[in-house]
Amino acid sequence: MVASYEGVALVAPYSHPYQRYSNDSAHWWIAKALRGSLEMAGLTTRDIDGFCASSFTLFPDTAVALTQHFGISPRWLDHIPMGGASGIVALRRAARAVQAGDASVVACVAGDTNHIDSFRNLLSGFSRSALDASYPYGYGGPNANFALLTDRYMHEFGATREDFGRLCVDQRANALRATGAVMKKPLSLAQYLGAMMIADPIALFDCVMPCAGAEAFLVMSVEEATRRGLPFATLSAAIERHNAHADDPIQLRGGWTVDIDTLWQMAQAGPGDMDLVQTYDDYPVISFMQIEDLGFCAKGGAADFLRGRDTTVTGDFPHNTSGGQLSGGQAGAAGGYIGLVEAIRQVTGQAGGTQVAEARRALVSGFGMINFDRGVCSAAAVLQTGVRA
């Protein structure tokens, strides 16, 4: 049995408002989120002794260069280049550091900028296998990769575009309540279905919009959070897995399936106990996969499962309550934090317009790094209310 994360507190969830394009650097965005989170906790950079960063656009720097850039002197430092799994992976590392005493206050930050044309440049060098074996074939980037998975998923399990559309429409409704979401126009199912095709069967509203943004939170001990009088969430369980099911000819499941029993045993809870769910949603098919692989329904059953449910903030299955990436925007590696930071807000009662009533337990999952034909990293965490705001 994996040792528990008892005694660890997650505080000060901060999202810096996203922008479609930004002239500022990733350093600027990360600084904004770091300061935002520290200010929420009433701290300064002198109060942190652990630092963890995730970004795609920090080149040529890594987390170590940021210590000098920001004038911080941590005794514990990490750099997590795992895209959509970055948030939970960073949380796991930071939580263990705090438990072991290697750090007492760890700032976890993810941020990316989005210059004109920087998305194309990012795609141009995403991974060696992508360069060698997927970008030469139409250069569709993740759109084409996920189009293939979606095509196969629909063929295997009979999911329809309407099924994906309902999820996107509900997320847009959630985004309308969120202050930071980039997409602010209501979306109807008819608009979803009538949108232009990008890479069949993926259409416009199935794709995240690249943007600039940053997210941050702090990890400290429960005593420290209590001493400082901060609302905090606790970590009931967390898993990660990389390159699972490598022999599957096409990705219809992720690494969550390997570790799901560990997750729910650690959490001493089950899927039905969750008050809200935040999946990593660069494309709706991936949210479907997470809902299945984390045990909310059987493999291939997500369309049926969701058909009878309302996934808005006020619904019976609140999902991606801030609008997720599909309506919030994909701020690079910050996309791997968006659900986690929102979940901390939710269980600490700080979610404002998107607050799910009486939210006490949240499931967050992450999915990252499309390498050649599939996402390699998967992660999930169960958060629980420690002290509410």
Partner 1 sequence: MTDPLVPPPRKDPQKRSVSPTRPPEWRSRAAMGLTAAAAETRFALQSCTECGALQYPPRDACRSCLGTDLPWVDADPAGTLLAETTVRHSTKLYFRERVPWRMGSVQLDAGPVVLCHLHPDVTPRARVRMTNRLDRAGQGVLIALPQTPTPHMQEAPIMRAVTSDPKLRRVLITDARAALTPALTRALLEAGAATVFVGLSEAWRGPLPQIEGAEVLPLDVTDTASVQKLAGEIGGKVDILINTARFLRPGGVLARGDTGFAATEMEVNAMGLMRLAQAFGPGMCGRTGDGVNNAVAWVNILDAHALSPDPAYGSFGASQAAARAIALSLRGEFRASGLRVMNAYVGPTEEDWFAPLPPPKVAPKALARDIVAGLQDGAEDIWCGDVARDLRDRWRADAKVLERELTMGGDAP
We find the least distance from the C-beta atom of residue 371 to partner 1, in angstroms, to be 9
Q: Should residue 1 be labelled a site residue for partner 1 when binding is judged by CB under 8 A?
A: no
Q: Should residue 148 be labelled a site residue for partner 1 when binding is judged by CB under 8 A?
A: yes
The stretch near partner 1 (CB under 8 A) out of 162-170, 195-203, 285-293, 332-340 is 195-203
Q: Should residue 144 be labelled a site residue for partner 1 when binding is judged by CB under 8 A?
A: yes
H or E element: which one contains 362?
strand 361-371
Q: Should residue 250 be labelled a site residue for partner 1 when binding is judged by CB under 8 A?
A: yes
**Alpha helices of 5-140 — where are they, by DSSP H?**
26-41, 63-70, 86-100, 118-124, 128-133
110 CB-side CA count, 13 A: 28
We find the least distance from the C-beta atom of residue 206 to partner 1, in angstroms, to be 12
Q: How far apart are CA 302 and CA 293, in angstroms?
A: 10
Binder to partner 1 among 128, 184, 227, 307 (CB under 8 A)? 128
Q: Should residue 140 be labelled a site residue for partner 1 when binding is judged by CB under 8 A?
A: yes
145 vs 278, beta carbon nearer partner 1: 145
Phi, psi for residue 88 in degrees, rounded to 5: -70, -35
H or E element: which one contains 136?
none
Binder to partner 1 among 198, 222, 258, 297 (CB under 8 A)? 198
We find the least distance from the C-beta atom of residue 285 to partner 1, in angstroms, to be 11
Q: Should residue 143 be labelled a site residue for partner 1 when binding is judged by CB under 8 A?
A: yes
Binder to partner 1 among 134, 236, 325, 327 (CB under 8 A)? 134
Q: How far apart are CA 219 and CA 9, in angstroms?
A: 6
- Do residues 142 and 374 touch, judged by C-beta distance below 8 A? no
We find the least distance from the C-beta atom of residue 38 to partner 1, in angstroms, to be 37
DSSP character at residue 91: H
152 vs 360, beta carbon nearer partner 1: 152
Q: Should residue 132 be labelled a site residue for partner 1 when binding is judged by CB under 8 A?
A: yes
Please, is 194 exposed, middle or buried when counting C-beta atoms within 10 Å of its C-beta (0-12, 13-18, 19+)?
exposed
Which residues, 6+ apart, have CB-to-CB distance to 296 below 8 Å? 271, 277, 302, 305
Positions touching partner 1 (CB under 8 A) are 119-120, 123-125, 128-129, 131-141, 143-144, 147-149, 151-152, 155, 196-202, 246, 249-250, 372-373
